[in-house]
Amino acid sequence: MPANIYLPELARITFIKEEVPGERAIKTFRVEPLNGGSFEHECGQCAMLSVFGRGEMMISIASSPLVKDYKQFSIMRVGRVSAAFHDLAVGDVVGIRGPYGNSFPVDDWRGRNLCFIGGGSGLAPIWPVITTAVAQRDLFKNITVFYGGRSPRDIMYKSELEKLRGVADVHLSVDKAEDGWDAYCGFVPANVMDKEPSPDNAIAVTCGPPIMIKYVIQNLSQLGFADEQIYTTLENKMKCGLGKCGRCNVGKDYVCVKGPVYSWAQLKNLPEEY
């Protein structure tokens, strides 16, 4: 009898933090497995979280693989399961299975400049790479982080981003100007063009709304980044995480297995259907 790939492990919520308030609220959750052990993951992989009675959802693991005690997820309240997750409290028990998908080749990037570009909740999927690189600061050259939200209230990981200053160049932005905001005003791709990160010995990693990713890649190309130097992570509706339920494919690739991490060089060869 093969192992039951659909049966989740049980995990307890040990920490909840409200990142962003309002209609598109984002909360960060940490979960710890009930049985003591849990799966190992790599930067960029995802896990299927269950709220029993409501269903499952695929979420990027936002904590670094170097963190062994818990797995962190930052979740926007948008659908049935994410809303149910937001209503949970510390101590509640959820289901988790995974990890799913491929990962960012972080080890191959040693000795290079890393440039991260995130928008909205798209900071979470690249956060494990950022924190892994920072934890091994000596192994990498310059670390630059671009991140933007719709308004100052939509900025997630605020205190964590502030702590990055000193070990990384942090460039925040908001779409619309507001009193008290003294960093960049405008969309994330524009902030990138404004700061002109150098493609020299660099890797750029971007995640955010599809339209943001599109223009970020366009702008990075304009700045001289080669297709192989640009990485992103796709999201698609998923049910199984195992390349069987049939919905997350882009061309022949099931994103849950072959993705979610793609270099622009790879992504360019897939049909434009994501």
Compute CA 230 distance to the chain's CA centroid, rounded to the nearest angstrom: 15
Does residue 93 touch another protein according to CB under 8 A? Answer: yes
Closer Cβ to another protein, 21 or 79, answer by number: 79
Does residue 22 touch another protein according to CB under 8 A? Answer: no
Does residue 274 touch another protein according to CB under 8 A? Answer: yes
Does residue 37 touch another protein according to CB under 8 A? Answer: no
Does residue 252 touch another protein according to CB under 8 A? Answer: yes
Q: Which of residues 172-211 bind another protein (CB under 8 A)?
A: 210
**Minimum CB separation from another protein for residue 149, in Å?**
15
Among 52, 66, 69, 176, binds another protein (CB under 8 A): 52
Unique residue bearing structure tokens 């960029």: 44
Does residue 237 touch another protein according to CB under 8 A? Answer: yes
**Minimum CB separation from another protein for residue 2, in Å?**
4
Identify the CA nearest to 119 among candidates 24, 197, 42: 24
Among 19, 42, 56, 154, binds another protein (CB under 8 A): 56
Write out the two tokens for 225.
Answer: 């980044």
Does residue 102 touch another protein according to CB under 8 A? Answer: no
Does residue 40 touch another protein according to CB under 8 A? Answer: no
Among 37, 53, 111, 166, binds another protein (CB under 8 A): 53
Does residue 249 touch another protein according to CB under 8 A? Answer: yes
Cα-Cα-Cα-Cα dihedral sign, residues 203, 209, 213, 219: negative
Among 17, 33, 67, 92, binds another protein (CB under 8 A): 92
Does residue 245 touch another protein according to CB under 8 A? Answer: yes
Residues in contact with another protein by the rule CB under 8 A: 1-8, 10, 12, 34, 50, 52-56, 78-79, 82, 89, 91-93, 95, 210, 235-237, 239-240, 242-252, 257, 271-274
